[in-house]
């Protein structure tokens, strides 16, 4: 199976989710739906990135 580069939208969504989770964890920012769920948000961001590499056109 050949992997493709993810689309820019998929990549940026993954980066934004990761940065929001890290800002919440490191700096103690309060962001609704992310505060206290940093692990799951980073896991979701990585799944988005992986599926963007596996699936064509995402």
What does the domain layout of the chain look like in residue ranges? 8-54
| pLDDT, position 3 | 80
Residue appearing with tokens 């896991």: 43
Give tens-digit pLDDT for 9-24. Answer: 999 999 999 999 999 9
* pTM over 0.95, yes/no: no
- What is the rounded distance in angstroms from the CA atom of residue 31 to the CA atom of residue 28? 9
With 0-12 / 13-18 / 19 or more C-beta atoms within 10 angstroms meaning exposed / middle / buried, residue 58 is middle
| pLDDT, position 57 | 59
- What is the rounded distance in angstroms from the CA atom of residue 6 to the CA atom of residue 47? 12
Q: Answer whether residue 43 shows pLDDT above 90.
A: yes
| pLDDT, position 2 | 76
Across the range 20-45, mean pLDDT stands at 94
Round to the nearest angstrom and report the end-to-end CA distance of the chain.
Answer: 16
- What is the rounded distance in angstroms from the CA atom of residue 20 to the CA atom of residue 42? 9
């Amino acid at each position: 199976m050949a992997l493709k580069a993810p689309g820019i939208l998929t990549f940026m969504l993954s980066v934004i989710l990761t940065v929001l989770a890290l800002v919440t964890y490191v700096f103690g920012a309060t962001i609704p739906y992310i505060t206290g769920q940093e692990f799951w948000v980073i896991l979701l961001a990585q799944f988005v990135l992986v599926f963007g590499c596996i699936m064509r056109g995402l």
